[in-house]
Amino acid sequence: MANKMILAYGLEQKDLEVFKMSNIEYKVITTKIFHDKIEDIIERSAKEEGDKSLPKEKVILFNGFSDDELDKIIKLVRATIGRSPILAVVTDTSKKWTFGYLVEHLIEEREWYKKMQEEKGSN
Protein backbone atom coordinates (compact mmCIF):
# COMPACT_ATOMS: atom_id res chain seq x y z
CA MET A 1 0.00 0.00 0.00
CA ALA A 2 2.14 2.89 -1.23
CA ASN A 3 0.26 6.16 -1.82
CA LYS A 4 0.47 7.64 1.67
CA MET A 5 -2.54 9.87 2.00
CA ILE A 6 -5.53 10.77 4.06
CA LEU A 7 -9.06 10.56 2.70
CA ALA A 8 -11.09 13.23 4.47
CA TYR A 9 -14.86 13.48 4.55
CA GLY A 10 -16.97 16.12 6.25
CA LEU A 11 -14.08 18.20 7.55
CA GLU A 12 -14.11 21.98 7.49
CA GLN A 13 -11.40 23.92 5.65
CA LYS A 14 -9.73 24.83 8.96
CA ASP A 15 -9.45 21.10 9.76
CA LEU A 16 -7.83 20.39 6.39
CA GLU A 17 -5.24 23.11 7.05
CA VAL A 18 -3.73 20.81 9.71
CA PHE A 19 -2.79 18.30 7.00
CA LYS A 20 -1.61 21.00 4.61
CA MET A 21 0.66 22.59 7.23
CA SER A 22 2.05 19.16 8.13
CA ASN A 23 2.76 18.30 4.47
CA ILE A 24 0.42 15.31 4.60
CA GLU A 25 -1.19 14.46 1.27
CA TYR A 26 -4.96 14.32 1.45
CA LYS A 27 -8.02 14.06 -0.75
CA VAL A 28 -11.42 15.46 0.12
CA ILE A 29 -14.28 13.05 -0.46
CA THR A 30 -17.21 14.86 -2.04
CA THR A 31 -20.71 13.70 -2.83
CA LYS A 32 -19.52 13.24 -6.41
CA ILE A 33 -17.11 10.43 -5.45
CA PHE A 34 -18.79 9.19 -2.24
CA HIS A 35 -19.89 5.95 -3.93
CA ASP A 36 -16.56 5.22 -5.67
CA LYS A 37 -14.33 2.39 -4.47
CA ILE A 38 -11.66 3.52 -2.05
CA GLU A 39 -8.86 2.01 -4.16
CA ASP A 40 -10.10 4.03 -7.17
CA ILE A 41 -10.13 7.24 -5.14
CA ILE A 42 -6.59 6.57 -3.88
CA GLU A 43 -5.25 5.82 -7.37
CA ARG A 44 -6.56 9.02 -8.97
CA SER A 45 -3.75 11.49 -9.37
CA ALA A 46 -5.78 14.68 -9.61
CA LYS A 47 -7.84 15.98 -6.75
CA GLU A 48 -11.50 15.58 -7.57
CA GLU A 49 -13.60 18.68 -7.50
CA GLY A 50 -17.27 18.32 -6.97
CA ASP A 51 -20.19 19.10 -4.78
CA LYS A 52 -19.28 20.32 -1.37
CA SER A 53 -21.69 18.78 1.05
CA LEU A 54 -22.28 19.30 4.73
CA PRO A 55 -22.27 15.71 5.97
CA LYS A 56 -23.31 14.73 9.44
CA GLU A 57 -20.14 12.75 10.05
CA LYS A 58 -16.46 13.56 9.92
CA VAL A 59 -14.35 10.66 8.67
CA ILE A 60 -10.59 10.44 8.23
CA LEU A 61 -9.10 7.38 6.50
CA PHE A 62 -5.38 6.69 6.57
CA ASN A 63 -3.70 4.88 3.70
CA GLY A 64 -0.13 3.57 3.56
CA PHE A 65 1.24 5.02 6.80
CA SER A 66 3.54 3.13 9.17
CA ASP A 67 2.43 2.57 12.78
CA ASP A 68 4.79 5.32 13.98
CA GLU A 69 3.47 7.77 11.38
CA LEU A 70 -0.13 6.89 12.31
CA ASP A 71 0.58 7.45 15.99
CA LYS A 72 1.94 10.96 15.28
CA ILE A 73 -0.83 11.91 12.85
CA ILE A 74 -3.61 10.64 15.13
CA LYS A 75 -2.16 12.67 18.03
CA LEU A 76 -2.08 15.71 15.72
CA VAL A 77 -5.70 15.13 14.65
CA ARG A 78 -6.93 14.68 18.22
CA ALA A 79 -5.06 17.79 19.40
CA THR A 80 -6.25 20.04 16.57
CA ILE A 81 -9.53 18.66 15.21
CA GLY A 82 -10.72 16.84 18.32
CA ARG A 83 -12.35 13.51 19.01
CA SER A 84 -15.37 13.86 16.73
CA PRO A 85 -13.98 12.40 13.47
CA ILE A 86 -14.22 8.66 12.92
CA LEU A 87 -10.66 7.44 12.26
CA ALA A 88 -9.86 4.28 10.30
CA VAL A 89 -7.05 2.68 8.32
CA VAL A 90 -7.63 1.50 4.75
CA THR A 91 -7.25 -2.30 4.62
CA ASP A 92 -7.00 -4.76 1.74
CA THR A 93 -10.67 -5.54 2.33
CA SER A 94 -11.98 -2.00 2.80
CA LYS A 95 -10.23 -0.61 -0.28
CA LYS A 96 -12.59 -2.74 -2.40
CA TRP A 97 -15.62 -1.09 -0.79
CA THR A 98 -17.18 2.19 -1.81
CA PHE A 99 -16.42 5.07 0.51
CA GLY A 100 -20.12 5.36 1.33
CA TYR A 101 -20.37 1.68 2.32
CA LEU A 102 -17.30 1.99 4.54
CA VAL A 103 -18.72 5.07 6.27
CA GLU A 104 -21.99 3.21 6.97
CA HIS A 105 -19.97 0.28 8.36
CA LEU A 106 -17.86 2.57 10.58
CA ILE A 107 -20.94 4.33 11.94
CA GLU A 108 -22.60 0.98 12.75
CA GLU A 109 -19.39 -0.16 14.46
CA ARG A 110 -19.23 3.02 16.54
CA GLU A 111 -22.89 2.70 17.57
CA TRP A 112 -22.38 -0.96 18.55
CA TYR A 113 -19.32 -0.01 20.61
CA LYS A 114 -21.24 2.79 22.39
CA LYS A 115 -24.08 0.40 23.16
CA MET A 116 -21.65 -2.17 24.61
CA GLN A 117 -20.02 0.53 26.76
CA GLU A 118 -23.42 1.66 28.05
CA GLU A 119 -24.46 -1.91 28.87
CA LYS A 120 -21.16 -2.48 30.64
CA GLY A 121 -21.71 0.66 32.70
CA SER A 122 -25.22 -0.34 33.76
CA ASN A 123 -24.15 -3.79 35.03
- 8-62 pLDDT, tens digit per residue, is 999 999 999 999 999 999 999 988 888 899 999 998 864 544 444 445 789 999 9
CB within 8 Å of 115: residues ≥ 6 apart: none
Q: What is the pLDDT of residue 29?
A: 92
| Domain hosting residue 41, numbered range | 5-122
CB within 8 Å of 116: residues ≥ 6 apart: none
Residue 5's pLDDT band (boundaries 50, 70, 90)? very high
What is the C-alpha to C-alpha distance for residues 112 and 119, in angstroms, rounded to an integer?
A: 11
pLDDT per residue as tens digits for the range 77-94? 999 999 889 999 999 999
Tally the domains of the chain: 1
